[in-house]
Chains A and B, each alone.
Chain A
Amino acid sequence: MALPVVAQAQQSGVSVALSDNLIVLEQRSRSGTIELVNLASDPTEFRISILDVTDSEVDGSDLIRWAPQRALAPANRTLPFRVSARPPGDLPVGEYLIRVGVTAEVQAPPPIPRDDADTEEPEAGIAVVVPIVPTLPVTVYYRHGIETPMVDAKPLVETPDDEKFIGYFPVVKQQPNYSFVGTVQVIEKTTGTLINRGRLHLRQSTEKSNVRMPRGEQNMIENGVYCLQIWDHWPGEGAPTTEVCSG
């Protein structure tokens, strides 16, 4: 039995915001910062806690330091979240990571005081709520003695029957055990049309992925030349590290 439909009123919710969710540290640059962003007009307390890494990831909690654990951000202001790597002298070459979860502390409204004289007999009702606390993870990598990881781009795969995508470029890691953090951009070279651009973050446990080309309002341009450009850093600047074109 379905109850009469109930209008879905616009719900307020709890928010958490960061300037970014990814930090890459290297031997030459062993500290980094992101901002805890308070978009509200009231002070907000941020709480940061360490998250577990998976079995296929290399735990760096012994050498990556971070702060703060709790912080109160004034209204419409940011607070820095700082990380730094403190590698011991005998640290083996490799890539290490930590992952922390950032939560905006829920500030419950004070209960409305009741005048006993006005208290009515409570109705025999049951109210049930499941509070949801949004959390944003921040992944911090420290690369010790390794070259910047890169991916290989494979030829374009066209998907004319796919409603969402006109095609995709498969990418495969050159160093399977390390993460990849870089910039990908797909353009149609004859017209200079930008098809897609953004950061590509492949975790240590992920070997390959696809850079998709959303269909949007267009189909494949006849005789078009589609190119995937990849930078091994974010944001990508200068000439791409590699480029693969169709046709």
Chain B
Amino acid sequence: MSFSKNLIVATALIFACFVQNVAADTATDTVNVNASLIPAFKLTCSNVHFGVWFLPVRSGSDKTFIDLREGTSLQGQPITIADISGNRRNVALNTAAGGAPRYGSCVFAGSEAAASTDMNIFIATTGEGRTDIRGALLAGKMVAAEDGEYVGLNAPEVDFGSGMRFGLGFPVTTPIDENGAGSFKIVGSLSIPGTIVRENCGAYKAEGVITLTVDDGI
């Protein structure tokens, strides 16, 4: 057996002796448990739903306009009110599940800015349309959605082309509260063409991707 191996064996034997001769003992120590809670800067937005509408097959140039706005229920709860104007003949809202109009809303939290700093709001679209990112209005056109993409309706066989258009309204700024949070609403307006054929019926969505950005930089 080589010298190194002898040394290893000897060391193990000595250690074993020490282990055998040490009486069982207890020891205590403290264990620190740490957890850090850091607020994330978060933005949540919901879509603007104009709802599901029954409209007659018709021809002509008289459009139907639908405007969404904030309202308050008799119980004091926030609600969406849809105002109809223009050609209202035989127009009705389908109030079944999924058919209710709802304005959009955004909530943010976790901003590091001091309280009462203005949160700046910007909106843009990749689709055709006018974007006034500092004027609180975005306009664009509606295109066919995918089958079943929204409220279970299929895409129309024939969409309106450039005929159905929408506009959005939102604040340019909103204050940040003492907790770094805040919220705002996105209302909308919709114009439906005067001429409708049965093949136009179905689900529509805004063309392109509409992004809403908030920034607490002044």
How far apart are the CA atoms of A85 and B150 in the complex, in Å? 44
Give chain A residues whose Cβ lies under 8 Å from the Cβ of B148: 111-112, 114
- Interface of chain A residues 95 through 113 with chain B (CB within 8 A): 101, 103, 108, 111-112
Interface residues on A, range: 35 or more
Residue B128 lies at the interface, judged by CB distance under 8 Å to chain A: no
Centre residue among A111, A128, A197 by max chain B CB count within 10 A: A128
Give chain B residues whose Cβ lies under 8 Å from the Cβ of A13: 44-47, 105-107
Smallest Cβ-Cβ distance to A168: which chain B residue: B116
Residue A74 lies at the interface, judged by CB distance under 8 Å to chain B: no
Per-residue A-contact encoding for B192-214, CB less than 8 Å = 1, 0 else? 10000010111111100111111
How far apart are the CA atoms of A212 and B116 in the complex, in Å? 7
Within the complex, which residue of A6, A18, A129, A197 is in contact with B80, where a contact is CB–CB below 8 Å?
A6
How far apart are the CA atoms of A13 and B217 in the complex, in Å? 24
How far apart are the CA atoms of A216 and B115 in the complex, in Å? 11
- Interface of chain B residues 159 through 197 with chain A (CB within 8 A): 164, 166, 168, 178, 180, 186, 188, 190, 192
Give chain B residues whose Cβ lies under 8 Å from the Cβ of A122: 153-154, 201-202
Contacts A126-B200, A129-B204; A111 near B79 (Cβ below 8 A): no
Contacts A8-B77, A14-B44, A39-B42; A127 near B203 (Cβ below 8 A): yes
Give chain B residues whose Cβ lies under 8 Å from the Cβ of A201: 113, 216-218
How far apart are the CA atoms of A201 and B180 in the complex, in Å? 14
How far apart are the CA atoms of A191 and B199 in the complex, in Å? 72
Residue A221 lies at the interface, judged by CB distance under 8 Å to chain B: no
Residue A239 lies at the interface, judged by CB distance under 8 Å to chain B: no
How far apart are the CA atoms of A183 and B73 in the complex, in Å? 42
Per-residue B-contact encoding for A8-22, CB less than 8 Å = 1, 0 else? 110111111111111
Q: How many residues of B contact A (CB 8 A)?
A: 88
Give chain B residues whose Cβ lies under 8 Å from the Cβ of A133: 45, 209-212
Residue A31 lies at the interface, judged by CB distance under 8 Å to chain B: no
Residue B19 lies at the interface, judged by CB distance under 8 Å to chain A: no
Within the complex, which residue of A1, A108, A124, A137 is in contact with B83, where a contact is CB–CB below 8 Å?
A1
How far apart are the CA atoms of A22 and B216 in the complex, in Å? 10
> Which DSSP category, helix, strand, loop or mixed, fits chain A's interface?
strand
How far apart are the CA atoms of A20 and B180 in the complex, in Å? 12
Residue A192 lies at the interface, judged by CB distance under 8 Å to chain B: no
Per-residue A-contact encoding for B69-107, CB less than 8 Å = 1, 0 else? 001010001111111110010000111000111101111
- Interface of chain A residues 53 through 76 with chain B (CB within 8 A): none
Per-residue A-contact encoding for B49-81, CB less than 8 Å = 1, 0 else? 111111111000000000000010100011111
How far apart are the CA atoms of A15 and B45 in the complex, in Å? 7
Residue A177 lies at the interface, judged by CB distance under 8 Å to chain B: no
Q: How far is the CB of A151 from chain B (nearest CB, A)?
A: 11
- The answer on a CB contact under 8 Å between A6 and B218 is no
Give chain A residues whose Cβ lies under 8 Å from the Cβ of B80: 6, 8
Residue B142 lies at the interface, judged by CB distance under 8 Å to chain A: yes
Give chain A residues whose Cβ lies under 8 Å from the Cβ of B82: 2-3, 6
Residue A206 lies at the interface, judged by CB distance under 8 Å to chain B: yes
- The answer on a CB contact under 8 Å between B48 and A129 is yes
How far apart are the CA atoms of A198 and B71 in the complex, in Å? 34
Interface set of B (CB-CB < 8 Å, partner A): 38, 40-57, 71, 73, 77-85, 88, 93-95, 99-102, 104-107, 110, 112-117, 142, 145-154, 156, 164, 166, 168, 178, 180, 186, 188, 190, 192, 198, 200-206, 209-218
List the 7 closest pairs (A to B, CB-CB), nearest first: A198-B114, A111-B148, A13-B46, A128-B50, A17-B42, A11-B46, A130-B48
Listed A/B pairs (18) with beta-carbon separation below 8 Å: A2-B83, A8-B77, A11-B105, A13-B44, A14-B46, A37-B42, A111-B146, A124-B57, A128-B50, A128-B203, A133-B211, A196-B115, A196-B116, A199-B216, A200-B113, A201-B216, A211-B114, A212-B114
Interface set of A (CB-CB < 8 Å, partner B): 1-3, 5-9, 11-22, 37, 39, 101, 103, 108, 111-112, 114, 122-137, 139, 164-165, 184, 196-203, 206, 209, 211-212, 214, 216, 234
